[in-house]
Amino acid sequence: MEYKVSIALLHTQLASGTLTCVQHVQQYLTNIQANTHLNAFLEVFEAEALERAAYLDELWQQGTHLPLHGVVVGLKDVISYQGHKLSAASKILENFTAVYSATAVERLLQAGAIIIGRQNCDEFAMGGSNENSAFGKVLNALDNNRVPGGSSGGSAVSVQANLCQISLGTDTGGSVRQPADFCGIVGVKPTYGRISRHGLLAYASSFDQIGIFSHTVQDAALVLETIAGADNFDSTALPSAVPPYSQYLHDTQLQAKRFAYFKQSFEHPSLDTHIKQQFEQLFNDLRRQGYTVEAVDFPLLPYVVPTYYVLTTAEASSNLSRYDGVKFGYVHTQAIQSLDEFYKQNRSNGFGKEVKRRIMLGNFVLSAGYFDAYYTKAQQVRQLLHTQTQAIFEQFDAIISPTVPTPAFPFGEKSASPIDMFLADIFTVHANLVGIPGISVPKYTHISGMPFGIQVFTNKEKEAELLATAAFFEQL
Ligand code: GLN
């Protein structure tokens, strides 16, 4: 299990001849074999990964050294990889094969990465515990009775347990940062649009963003600078040039000096006392070192989760309407009398409970009689949040908080109550509502033995500052 190799170390070892790409892949395959009980992978591309590793070894011998040469990457099963299955951990797409690759995947491959498999997650990325997969839950490798977080649980556990070097997940409301926090690894969600969404199965299009899991900030920065940037296939992808983030990590000019935290977050009843104490100590330490750490009033905090769930379910109800058994997806084979019945059976049997709950909720908030009361109101709150967040960034470089109010919880603890599960997203959804980047950096061990980290937000397109600040916390 202890095969923890950074990208820099991999390249040093390839250069010195102490490791080959084939051996590197074999190590991960061995770890995957030994940890099938974690249920992190839905499919492992064993032969293909080894074949590509052999090709990359040859390339290296010939003197071609690519930026992500030999880096072993796993993909959350909502990211398209041409010719490979793409299920969204749903029965409705169980037999679907991707017809093209996501832009992020194309860029990984061009940079010399090896795709090792597709990873389990909550169905259509809806969830925070990975209990909503049609293919079984994923276990946290540190404590198999606890959730790994979600929805990108398989991707987080794969890095946590060294089943691959890097994973790509998606973060619509925290699905990269929250499982990273629960698993004790780095998880970064860039600015909305920083990484193209082309080839990503949509959950809530104005929130969705691909994110990266790694053991170190340095590795996350290297992957981000490779896959980010403009894309003709996604008009929402940001056109601005992508800086070489990995070279700026130790630039003290970029590291945040003025930190804001939300008064309401630290007064929130859901915040675990041990986590709270640890953050109070952190704030004092930072102040002693000369940093500004100030509480700001953030009365909108109680509205972020409801706003998020109104808007994302509305978008999801529209995005998921294509899975009807005609254009895509599972077809119910029993005798059917009418077209209506056909759609109904396909969708009722193809989707899981949580996805159906959200489609119904989304249709409800969009329905004629309730549109203004829910959807329009939520859009107004989103705008207000945006304005207030921008005002904070006029005075501060970064916003800091725990990533989640509690460490990883035991299976079943929140699955009976959707509201409890939704509330666990209280610190993460803000970044998606306003489109700013966020990162979870592993730092502490809770009295329960589980890890928890520090979440940092910076303003839009300030990934260089975000990552430099994260690197500072990593070393603190
Ligand atoms: N837990 C959140 C939800 O269920 C976040 C999901 C995500 O980011 N994909 O919607």
Report the amino acid identity of residue 429.
V
Whole-angstrom distance, CA of residue 367 vs CA of residue 142 = 44
Atom of ligand 1 nearest to the CA of 308: 10
Q: What's the CA-to-centroid distance between 455 and ligand 1, angstroms? A: 16
Q: What is the pLDDT of residue 198?
A: 98
Whole-angstrom distance, CA of residue 2 vs CA of residue 4 = 6
CB-ligand 1 contact for 465 (6 Å cutoff): no
Which of these is catalytic: 101, 151, 265, 401? 151
Q: What's the CA-to-centroid distance between 427 and ligand 1, angstroms? A: 12
Q: What's the CA-to-centroid distance between 313 and ligand 1, angstroms? A: 11
CB-ligand 1 contact for 125 (6 Å cutoff): yes
- 117 touches 155 (CB < 8 A): no
Q: Does the global pTM surpass 0.85? A: yes
The reply to whether 317 belongs to the active site is no
Whole-angstrom distance, CA of residue 113 vs CA of residue 202 = 24
**In a domain? residue 394:** no
CB-ligand 1 contact for 173 (6 Å cutoff): yes
Whole-angstrom distance, CA of residue 137 vs CA of residue 279 = 31
**In a domain? residue 198:** yes
Which of these is catalytic: 101, 129, 152, 175? 175
Choice from 123, 131, 171, 175 to test ligand 1 binding pocket (greatest atom count within 8 A of CB):
175
CB-ligand 1 contact for 126 (6 Å cutoff): yes
Angle at 134 between CA 43 and CA 306, to 5 degrees: 120
CB-ligand 1 contact for 425 (6 Å cutoff): yes
Atom of ligand 1 nearest to the CA of 422: 1
pLDDT in tens, the chain (476 residues): 589 999 999 999 999 999 999 999 999 999 999 999 999 999 999 999 999 999 999 999 999 999 999 999 999 999 999 999 999 999 999 999 999 999 999 999 999 999 999 999 999 999 999 999 999 999 999 999 999 999 999 999 999 999 999 999 999 999 999 999 999 999 999 999 999 999 999 999 999 999 999 999 999 999 999 999 999 999 999 999 999 999 999 999 999 999 999 999 999 999 999 999 999 999 999 999 999 999 999 999 999 999 999 999 999 999 999 999 888 788 887 888 899 999 999 999 999 999 999 999 999 999 999 999 999 999 999 999 999 999 999 999 999 999 999 999 999 999 888 888 998 999 999 999 999 999 999 999 999 999 999 999 999 999 999 999 999 999 99
Which of these is catalytic: 76, 189, 460, 462? 76
- 415 touches 353 (CB < 8 A): no
* CATH for 49: 3.90.1300.10
Atom of ligand 1 nearest to the CA of 432: 8
Tokens coding 200: 């990503």
Tokens coding 349: 């049997």
CB-ligand 1 contact for 131 (6 Å cutoff): no
**In a domain? residue 20:** yes
The reply to whether 175 belongs to the active site is yes
Whole-angstrom distance, CA of residue 84 vs CA of residue 210 = 19
Whole-angstrom distance, CA of residue 365 vs CA of residue 313 = 8
The residues facing 188 across adjacent strands are: 212, 439
Of 47, 190, 193, the residue nearest 114 (C-alpha)? 47
User: What pairing do the DSSP bridges indicate for beta strands 398-402 and 292-296?
Assistant: unpaired
**In a domain? residue 476:** no
CB-ligand 1 contact for 438 (6 Å cutoff): no
**In a domain? residue 73:** yes
**In a domain? residue 269:** no
The reply to whether 76 belongs to the active site is yes
Q: Which helix (H) or strand (E) holds 398?
A: strand 398-402
72 is in which domain, residue-wise? 7-247
Ligand 1, atom 10, lies closest to the CA of 126
Q: Which residues does 242 contact at the CB level (< 8 Å), separation at least 6? A: 194, 224, 225, 228, 229
Whole-angstrom distance, CA of residue 239 vs CA of residue 427 = 29
**In a domain? residue 387:** no
Q: What's the CA-to-centroid distance between 60 and ligand 1, angstroms? A: 40
Number of domains in the chain: 1
**In a domain? residue 80:** yes
CB-ligand 1 contact for 57 (6 Å cutoff): no
DSSP string, 172-201: SSSTTHHHHHHHTSEEEE-STTSS--TTBP
Ligand 1, atom 4, lies closest to the CA of 127
Q: What is the pLDDT of residue 1?
A: 55
- 236 touches 192 (CB < 8 A): yes
- Judged on CB neighbours under 10 Å (0-12, 13-18, 19+), 169 is buried
Q: What is the pLDDT of residue 327?
A: 81
For residue 172, give Cα distances in angstroms to 53, 103, 176, 265. 32, 18, 9, 20
CB-ligand 1 contact for 315 (6 Å cutoff): no
- 276 touches 446 (CB < 8 A): no
